[in-house]
Structure 1
């Protein structure tokens, strides 16, 4: 019975990563599930404070890298600091606005499009030409896409680390 419960729990952790498609906090849900497992299974070995600091740090690193790559992408393509702020705000707003569409998949499209649009609008608002602003917005778009991929990859690492402690 323990093998079955562990298998279902690991599967649930893995399925939680699907929340990234909807721009929801999949990595933080995995961290919360690991905390729940530790609470319900106090005999679990290796799930000590150091483990939770490590996985919590990885989840935080995923968030930082997601927005950091977006900012670096825009910078690399000529974006300004204000354009970067617009891209980050646009990504958040776009994910929220897009969430009701395409069965929730619109959140991903909205986040990527919002990063582009937010950066573009603030770059144009600073008096930059459309071509220059569009180039910076492309950087924000590609940076956001890369950041989402990195964040998902870190989530996979969280699931693997957690599974190694959940499996009996």
Structure 2
């Protein structure tokens, strides 16, 4: 009993090597990290910073998880994930800039488009489309774009713009939101692949 307690308290023993964790504990942690990163990827579809959450999860695992061995994660994968997340943000920004703002949208319309896209994407993810596996993803993309369209049109119409101008801005908001989210989600998928390959392959 005393030896077990001393082993638990030994400062040189890594926490994942403690006797109260089974031999497969490190593998369970690695799998859990990859699943959490994959789930955070889905947040990109509803305009939340899923890629940055994934980077944070990988950084925490690299810091607290196994430092070496097949299940270990060094600094290189975390830095790579950080660079990918930054690229994803850049793609989303460029697509958005080429969308509603380029069509002459007001700041208010841009804000409403963002809010509408978040609500639409959430609704789409819940409702889904009758397509195996990809249904919720495609629905979140399309509903998010539709929400951005409705939000931008509503903001412009209530500001007194003609219907034709409001419609053009709404259409630009749709494509900006859809392409930006698709690009960001695509980069996020690469982050998931990096996490998976690093600890499970």
Q: Deviations over 1:5-54 (max 9, x none)?
A: 38845862674334545555542343243234312112267722x65354
1:102 and 2:127 aligned: yes
Alignment match, 1:37:
61
- Residue range with higher mean Cα deviation, 25-34 or 4-13: 4-13
More relative contact order, 1 or 2 (CA 8 Å, 6+ apart): 1
* Structure with higher helix content: 1
Alignment match, 2:117:
91
Any conservation in 2 of the 1:100–1:107 contact (CA below 8 Å)? yes
State the alpha-carbon separation in 2 of the partners of residues 14 and 92 from structure 1.
20
Structure 2: unaligned runs, 5 residues or longer:
1-22, 129-135
CA RMSD of aligned residues (A): 3.7
Any conservation in 2 of the 1:92–1:111 contact (CA below 8 Å)? yes
Alignment match, 1:133:
166
The number of equivalent residue pairs is 165
State the alpha-carbon separation in 2 of the partners of residues 118 and 57 from structure 1.
31
Any conservation in 1 of the 2:85–2:187 contact (CA below 8 Å)? yes
Q: Deviations over 1:63-120 (max 9, x none)?
A: 4533542342113444333322221232234445x278427x4755553232111110
Alignment of 1:109-128 (within 5 A): 110-128=143-161
Any conservation in 2 of the 1:22–1:99 contact (CA below 8 Å)? no
Structure 1 pair 85–11 and aligned structure 2 pair: CA distance change class (3 A): closer
Any conservation in 2 of the 1:10–1:166 contact (CA below 8 Å)? no
Alignment match, 2:175:
142
State the alpha-carbon separation in 2 of the partners of residues 15 and 52 from structure 1.
15
Structure 1: unaligned runs, 5 residues or longer:
none
Flag the structure with larger Rg: 2
State the alpha-carbon separation in 1 of the partners of residues 83 and 165 from structure 2.
37
Alignment match, 2:9:
none
Normalised to the residue count of structure 1, the TM-score between the two structures is 0.71
Normalised to the residue count of structure 2, the TM-score between the two structures is 0.61
